Amino acid sequence: MSHKPFKAVIPAAGLGTRFLPATKAMPKEMLPVVDKPAIQYVVEEAVHAGIEDVLIIIGRNKNNIANHFDSMPELEEKLRQKGDSDKLAKVEHSNDLADIHLVRQGEPKGLGHAVLRARAHVGDHPFAVLLGDDLIDERDPLLTTMLAEYDKRGATVIALMEVDPDSIHLYGAAAIEPTETDGVVRVTGLVEKPRKEDAPSNLAIIGRYVLSPDVFDVLEHTEPGKGGEIQLTDALQELATDTNAGVYGVVFSGRRYDTGDRLDYIKAIVQLASDREDLGPDLRPWLKDFAAGL
């Protein structure tokens, strides 16, 4: 590794309109998944992969996110007086998790634009981007594999996952060729949210990227694409077809929870809660009875 330690960038400036009215005064990244805000899972994932410095790109209602990762002296003192060390530990955990930095996106002009806002903080070093709509099970160390792959190849690495061809229009889709390593492919082309008939494959970009800092120069001149937004996928398409750069994909087949729309969000909560030691034993039999009565 001939670069500084990886930093993580978490874009969290979307409007979250699919969850209105819950997201009227609260960023969607703060919606609870069981009992933790979605964004905390993502920060924890970065920390598990060894990243200590996390930059969150915030939009409106930023104070909720800033407060969540800051200390809450009054609440902590109350819990201390009550001797509730369990809850105190939960509150303090998110303060101490990582070295959190915040930068504003201003106008939400797309994921590519959000990532470009990280330039001053990240500098001329590779970095990870984690999208909060995709939660990766902590038992499946996707990001760790991607960071190692970056170090091996010195080129951008994205996470890909096979999806139902009927869903590919919701994702960036990749054209690929195999490499000498099982589960790692070379990306030869990328299209943002193609129609099913135009998709180069059913390999979808899921929200994990380890990016070479070259992406910043590309993003500076990336024109608005799909939806009139500056798309990270379009910048990566340019890197993928540049013979001096290149993009690789780690094909993920582990547990991913999509929290991007209401139905998937509900499924994610049920799946994660059923797996938990404190909730699963009561939830699982109830779910069976409930489903039997449907």
135 contacts ligand G1P (rule: CB under 6 A): no
Question: Among 134, 149, 214, 234, which residue sits at the site for ligand G1P (rule: CB under 6 A)?
Answer: 134
Question: Among 103, 185, 205, 247, which residue sits at the site for ligand G1P (rule: CB under 6 A)?
Answer: 205
Instruction: Report how far residue 40's alpha carbon sits from residue 266's, in angstroms, rounded to the nearest whole number.
Output: 18
Nearest distance in Å: CB 53, ligand G1P: 23
211 contacts ligand G1P (rule: CB under 6 A): no
Instruction: Report how far residue 161's alpha carbon sits from residue 169's, in angstroms, rounded to the nearest whole number.
Output: 14
146 contacts ligand G1P (rule: CB under 6 A): no
131 contacts ligand G1P (rule: CB under 6 A): yes
Nearest distance in Å: CB 166, ligand G1P: 15
132 contacts ligand G1P (rule: CB under 6 A): no
Which of residues 171 and 257 has its CB atom nearest to ligand G1P in the complex?
A: 171
257 contacts ligand G1P (rule: CB under 6 A): no
133 contacts ligand G1P (rule: CB under 6 A): yes
Question: Among 56, 206, 239, 247, which residue sits at the site for ligand G1P (rule: CB under 6 A)?
Answer: 206
* Phi, then psi, of 25 in degrees rounded to 5: -120, 10
* Residue 208 neighbours by CB distance under 10 Å: 27
40 contacts ligand G1P (rule: CB under 6 A): no
Instruction: Report how far residue 111's alpha carbon sits from residue 206's, in angstroms, rounded to the nearest whole number.
Output: 13
Nearest distance in Å: CB 88, ligand G1P: 35
- Contact in structure between 120 and 245 (CB atoms under 8 Å): no
Maximal CA-CA distance, the chain:
62
* Phi, then psi, of 220 in degrees rounded to 5: -60, -30
192 contacts ligand G1P (rule: CB under 6 A): yes
Which of residues 122 and 130 has its CB atom nearest to ligand G1P in the complex?
A: 130
Each as own residue / partner, the long-range contacts of residues 83-90 (CB below 8 Å, 24 or more positions apart, any chain) are none
Q: Which two tokens stand for residue 240?
A: 């993928």
Instruction: Report how far residue 272's alpha carbon sits from residue 280's, in angstroms, rounded to the nearest whole number.
Output: 9
- Cα torsion 81, 87, 88, 92 to 10°: value is -160
Question: Among 38, 204, 210, 247, which residue sits at the site for ligand G1P (rule: CB under 6 A)?
Answer: 204
Question: Among 171, 209, 248, 265, which residue sits at the site for ligand G1P (rule: CB under 6 A)?
Answer: 171
3-state secondary structure at position 172: strand
172 contacts ligand G1P (rule: CB under 6 A): yes
Beta bridge partners of 59: 61
Beta bridge partners of 33: 36
111 contacts ligand G1P (rule: CB under 6 A): yes
Q: How many residues bind ligand G1P (CB under 6 A)?
A: 15
94 contacts ligand G1P (rule: CB under 6 A): no
Crossing angle between the packed helical segments 73-82 and 85-96, to the nearest 10 degrees: 150
Q: Which two tokens stand for residue 226?
A: 């799909």
Helix boundaries (H) for the chain: 38-48, 62-68, 73-82, 85-96, 111-116, 119-122, 142-153, 214-221, 232-240, 262-275, 280-292
Which of residues 14 and 79 has its CB atom nearest to ligand G1P in the complex?
A: 14
207 contacts ligand G1P (rule: CB under 6 A): yes
Q: Which residues bind ligand G1P (CB under 6 A)?
A: 111, 131, 133-134, 171-172, 192, 204-207, 231-233, 260
